[in-house]
């Protein structure tokens, strides 16, 4: 399998969303490989992806034995693409619940092609925004970003967005220092990229709260994020 763009879709019980999302990604006509990393979803997400594999030749499926966290899923995705004989030039990470609009993928790729190591789809830079969020969810997100900004000090507004594009060079540089289990992977990847003086940019996106399924954010994941932000040197 040869591709210019790798796309990582971590899934857990996303059977209601993943088929439509993959169809829309395929319609972008990118030279892409789509890697679905499913944590043995009981709703048949993996079976849905296997069905799609009969229609599209560029879909990879990694089924893990249990729910193991977003951080390990992204790191496993990076390693999978690095293990290919011809790795993609850049890798997109995005939610599989339709919170991220696949039509915005080409713009993230364009900025990486112009020399950035990491491009973040930002809800909080000019032109970005959120839809259908509760006050509680918005407040948690803003607090998390304030903490991350204080601890890491990169001049960006959205540390916690999961909609991103990484250059292959950035992934090769940071993969050995990624140890996050859950959502703290979002600030760990920024920190490791920044420590290597690689270029980071933001581009505005509109984040739409999921329409189907339940949010995966748990109290434990919030604790892990705070632990990483305050205790990591």
| Closest of 228, 138, 230 to residue 179, by C-alpha | 228
Tokens of 154: 């990169």
* SS3 call for 35: strand
Give the domain extent around 109: 5-231
Structure tokens at 119: 């491009």
State which H helix or E strand residue 150 sits in: helix 135-152
Alpha-carbon span 120 to 51, nearest angstrom: 31
pTM, 2 dp: 0.91
pLDDT higher than 80, residue 138: yes
* pLDDT band (50, 70, 90) for residue 229: low
pLDDT given for residue 71 in this prediction: 95
CA distance 80 to 51: 21
pLDDT at 233: 56
Structure-token pair, residue 21 = 């999302």
Beta strands in 44-178 (DSSP E): 59-63, 90-93, 118-122, 129-131, 164-167
Summarised one tens digit per residue, pLDDT across range 7-18 is 999 999 999 999
Q: Give tens-digit pLDDT for 23-76.
A: 999 999 899 999 999 999 999 999 999 999 999 999 999 999 999 999 999 999
177-217 residue pLDDT tens: 999 999 899 999 999 999 999 999 999 999 998 655 555 55
Q: Name 36's bridge partners.
A: 9, 61
pLDDT tier for residue 150 given thresholds of 50, 70 and 90: confident
Position 218 scores a pLDDT of 56
Measure the CA–CA gap between 134 and 187, rounded to whole angstroms.
23
> CB–CB of 118/189 below 8 Å?
yes
Task: Give me the chain's average pLDDT, please.
Answer: 91
Q: How many domains does the chain have?
A: 1
Find residue 202's DSSP bridge partners.
120
Q: What is the pLDDT of residue 147?
A: 87
Q: What is the pLDDT of residue 216?
A: 55
Q: Which of 31-40, 106-115, 140-149, 211-220 has the lowest mean pLDDT?
A: 211-220
Amino acid 213: pLDDT = 53
**Percent of the chain whose pLDDT exceeds 90:** 76
* Alpha carbons 58 and 79: distance in angstroms, whole number: 17
**Which CATH number characterizes residue 9's domain?**
3.90.550.10
């Amino acid at each position: 399998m040869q591709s210019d763009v790798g796309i990582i879709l971590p899934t857990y019980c996303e059977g209601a969303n993943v088929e439509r999302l993959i169809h829309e990604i395929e319609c972008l006509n990118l030279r892409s490989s789509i890697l679905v990393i499913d944590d043995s979803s009981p709703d048949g997400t993996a079976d849905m992806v296997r069905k799609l594999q009969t229609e599209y030749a560029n879909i990879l499926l990694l089924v893990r034995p249990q729910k193991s966290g977003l951080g390990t899923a992204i790191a496993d995705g990076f390693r999978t693409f690095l293990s290919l004989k011809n790795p993609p030039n850049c890798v997109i990470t995005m939610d599989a619940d339709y919170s991220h609009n696949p039509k915005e993928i080409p713009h993230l790729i364009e900025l990486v092609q112009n020399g950035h190591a990491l491009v973040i789809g930002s809800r909080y830079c000019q032109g970005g925004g959120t839809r259908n969020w509760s006050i509680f969810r918005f407040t948690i997100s803003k607090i998390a970003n304030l903490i991350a900004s204080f601890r890491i000090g990169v001049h960006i507004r959205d540390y916690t967005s999961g909609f991103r594009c990484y250059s292959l060079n950035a992934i090769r540089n940071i993969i050995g220092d990624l140890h996050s289990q859950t959502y703290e992977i979002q600030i760990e990847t920024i920190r490791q990229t920044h420590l290597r003086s690689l270029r980071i940019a933001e581009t505005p996106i509109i984040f739409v709260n999921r329409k189907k399924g339940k949010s995966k954010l748990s109290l434990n994941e919030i604790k892990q994020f705070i632990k990483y932000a305050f205790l990591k040197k």
